[in-house]
Amino acid sequence: MAPPVQQRGSVLLFEVRTPIRTEPFGERYHLVPGKELGRGKFSVVKKYVERCSGKEYAAKFMRKRRKGQDCRLEIIHEIAMLELASACPWVIDLHEVYETHKEMVLVMEYAAGGEIFDQCVAEHDESFTQDDVKRLMRQILEGVAFLHSINVVHLDLKPQNILLTSTSPLGDIKIVDFGLSRMVKGDQELREIMGTPEYVAPEVLDFEPISTATDMWSIGVLAYVMLTGTSPFLGNDKQETFLNISQINVSYTEDELEGLEKSAIRFMKSLLVKEPQARATAYECLHHPWLQQGVNRGGLEEQDQEDQKGQVTEGLIVVAAYSLGQC
Ligand code: ADP
Ligand code: MG
């Protein structure tokens, strides 16, 4: 595994096993005309077809220089994080990497269903049912449990970074965007990484240590958004949003929550708590009563369902341990 290197107060990995290709990207792939798949501050994601295979991919073009600083090593770290998580079926696959004078290009598996964000804010007939949310939330939690079992925190879990393999029929989730993700080890404290205001945990705002519990806060926000279509802490501006978060100013009596199962509300309440140590872990969430009922798993008897769920989660964590050479 790549050696960890301390940079700007956090541990980044600077060695990758994916070859970094320098031949012209356009010779190997052709652009699919149409809308870009997405865009961030320093990146743009477009759909391409690999000429030799005819397969579709999503290519994330990332500028190496940002605000006058060389950020190549941060991109290398993002690649290393994707490699670490490659055994997990709920994390996007990295296919190839290219480098040009100004950019790096991460060629990833294409998630045709786009962001779950679009379903979260869709009109009623196109939005998720409670059973959809349960199935997708289980996959998200299995992915996050996998990451946490290898000491990786994502730190930017939000509906724009959870994609779907298809929308009709509703497919499976893929976690993307490891730009803020970090390794967390017992003896090293990590602070000060900023995610997206609405999803940021109170300890991040207070410059307190960041841990796997920081992701669990975001899972609580994510569940709220997926179930109601509204963002629980969003204020009129950033300051108001931050104030809402630090005061845990969240309402469980809004109209949007009417008709939700009581256990769904208890699930969110087990995560949206100020004290990181008091939050449920990903593993505990997978065993939460809310996620035990109403999920269609093809007509299995209840006990068989229990056994199968346990096997999926435990199986993923064993895979994680193998990929780190811990077994
Ligand atoms: P940023 O770091 O700029 O936020 P992301 O990796 O989150 O970059 O990608 C930006 C957007 O591009 C995502 O929110 C999503 O809409 C789209 N996108 C990213 N990866 C894929 C993919 N593999 N398949 C389809 N769309 C993608
Ligand atoms: Mg993103």
Q: What is the atom index within ligand 1 of the atom nearest the CA of 176?
A: 6
Instruction: Supply the pTM of this predicted model.
Output: 0.90
Residues 6+ apart with CB under 8 A from 49: 29, 30, 32, 55, 56, 57
Mutate to test the pocket of ligand 1, among 117, 177, 180, 222 (most ligand atoms within 8 A of CB): 177
316 neighbors 142 (Cβ within 8 angstroms)? yes
Rg of the chain over Cα atoms, rounded to whole angstroms, equals 20
**What is residue 297's predicted lDDT score, i.e. its pLDDT?**
45
Given 118, 156, 215, 307, which residue is catalytic? 156
Mutate to test the pocket of ligand 1, among 163, 172, 222 (most ligand atoms within 8 A of CB): 163
Task: Give 3-state DSSP helix, strand, coil % of the chain, rounded to 5.
Answer: 40, 20, 45
**What is residue 327's predicted lDDT score, i.e. its pLDDT?**
30
Residue whose pair of structure tokens reads 């501006």 in the numeric block: 237
**What is residue 232's predicted lDDT score, i.e. its pLDDT?**
95
Residues 6+ apart with CB under 8 A from 41: 66
Active site residue 118: no
**For each of the chain's 327 residues, which pLDDT tens digit applies?**
445 554 444 578 889 999 999 999 999 999 999 999 999 888 999 999 999 999 999 999 999 999 899 999 999 999 999 999 999 999 999 999 999 999 999 999 999 999 999 888 877 777 889 999 999 999 999 999 999 999 999 999 999 999 999 999 999 999 999 999 999 876 677 877 777 889 999 999 999 999 999 999 999 999 999 999 999 999 999 999 999 999 999 988 878 788 899 999 999 999 999 999 999 999 999 999 999 976 554 333 344 444 454 555 566 655 555 444 443
Whether the complex's predicted ipTM surpasses the cut of 0.85 = yes
Q: Is 48 helix (H, G, I), strand (E, B) or coil?
A: strand
Secondary structure element (H or E) that encloses residue 130, with its range: helix 130-149
- Ligand 1 centroid – CA 105 distance (Å): 12
Q: Is 96 helix (H, G, I), strand (E, B) or coil?
A: strand
Rounded CA-CA distance 73/8 in Å is 12
Rounded CA-CA distance 315/321 in Å is 10
- Ligand 1 centroid – CA 265 distance (Å): 30
**What is residue 45's predicted lDDT score, i.e. its pLDDT?**
98
Q: Is 95 helix (H, G, I), strand (E, B) or coil?
A: strand
Rounded CA-CA distance 236/10 in Å is 32
198 neighbors 231 (Cβ within 8 angstroms)? yes
For the chain, the distance separating the N- and C-terminal CA atoms, rounded to the nearest angstrom, is 15
57 neighbors 29 (Cβ within 8 angstroms)? yes
Structure token digits, residue 203: 């300890």
Structure token digits, residue 32: 């699919």
Residues whose beta carbon lies within 6 Å of some atom of ligand 1: 37-38, 40, 43, 45, 58, 60, 92, 108-111, 115, 160-161, 163, 176-177, 179
85 neighbors 146 (Cβ within 8 angstroms)? yes
